[in-house]
Amino acid sequence: MTLDGIDRARVPVHVGCVMDGNGRWAQQRGLPRTEGHAAGEKALLDAVEGALDLGLAWLTVYAFSTENWKRPADEVRYLMQFNEGILTRRRDELHERGVRIRFVGRRDWRVPRRLVRRMDEALDLTAANRTLTLTIAFNYGGRAEIVDAVRALVAAGTPAARIDERAIRRHLYDPTMPDPDLVVRTSGEYRISNFLLWELAYSELVFTDVLWPDFRRQHLFDAVREFQGRDRRYGGVERQRR
């Protein structure tokens, strides 16, 4: 486990992870897709440890998208129970590590009540923690988030001229969440799949072929090293070369 080559003074504040490739990981082993999700738990916990090693302030993981309801009913059911199980099994250790657990996404009728209860318990238990904020994007869609923000503005009677970028940001699911500096997607897919669309405007993207169940903190460190070699211009001009 090495942080060699990482400039501790320039670690990203916020890293997002699109945890993809569970199904293929299982298929490669002749296992049902759900076994891949189960194996992803260890990867998630190791990524959290890596985030703590690095001193990240925010880590956001994509656990279930608004499009994932399209999957076979038994896989969806498994994922609901699995996420409920993770929260029950892991909340105490995450709490001891100083992790604040939060959620972004729609809490609609399709999310089982029991899971919503576990989410609220994890939120309440860890609310005062300050070491790392772990945000779980669950029943999350970037387009849905923007729609919900605009709806809230309209419902509040906001005049059209007052609807600007700041107003929309204030109505995102977590207005306190800074935009991700870096997003890592596993499994060799080069797409965003509706993750944090508004917030990703100027994020650095790193793609890796590693399937999520094989992801370990070392891969997170590799992504941070790549991030530190990038030149973020935000539409401006190149920073002064050393």
Q: Which residues are catalytic?
A: 20, 68
Residue 115: CB atoms within 10 Å: 20
Tokens of 213: 């169940």
Q: Under the criterion CB under 6 A, does residue 135 sit at the interface with ligand IPE?
A: no
- Pick from 53, 52, 67, 61: nearest CA to 83: 61
Nearer to Mg ion, 20 or 199 (CB): 20
Q: Of ligand IPE, Mg ion, none, which one sits near residue 65, judging by CB under 5 to 8 A according to partner kind?
A: ligand IPE
Residue 75: CB atoms within 10 Å: 16
Residue 162: CB atoms within 10 Å: 11
Q: Under the criterion CB under 6 A, does residue 79 sit at the interface with ligand IPE?
A: yes
Task: Say which residues have a Cβ less than 8 Å from residue 177's Cβ, sequence separation at least 6.
Answer: 14, 58, 60, 102, 104, 133, 135, 199
Q: Under the criterion CB under 6 A, does residue 138 sit at the interface with ligand IPE?
A: no
Residue 200: CB atoms within 10 Å: 16
> Number of C-alpha atoms within 13 angstroms, CB side, residue 100?
12
Nearer to ligand IPE, 142 or 171 (CB): 142
Binding to Mg ion (CB under 5 A) within 5-34 occurs at 20
* Nearest distance from C-beta of residue 211 to Mg ion, angstroms: 10
Rounded to the nearest 10°, the torsion over CA 178, 182, 188, 194 is 20
154/160 Cα distance (integer angstroms): 9
Residue type, 151: R
Binding to ligand IPE (CB under 6 A) within 12-51 occurs at 18-24
By beta carbon distance, the residue nearest Mg ion is 20
Nearer to ligand IPE, 22 or 133 (CB): 22
64 and 139 Cβ atoms separated by less than 8 Å: yes
Q: Under the criterion CB under 6 A, does residue 215 sit at the interface with ligand IPE?
A: no
Q: Under the criterion CB under 5 A, does residue 65 sit at the interface with Mg ion?
A: no
Q: Under the criterion CB under 6 A, does residue 114 sit at the interface with ligand IPE?
A: no
* Nearest distance from C-beta of residue 18 to Mg ion, angstroms: 9
**Identified binder of ligand IPE from the candidate list 58, 64, 173, 221, rule CB under 6 A:** 64
Binding interface with ligand IPE (CB under 6 A): 18-24, 62-65, 68, 79, 187, 189, 191, 193, 212
Binding interface with Mg ion (CB under 5 A): 20
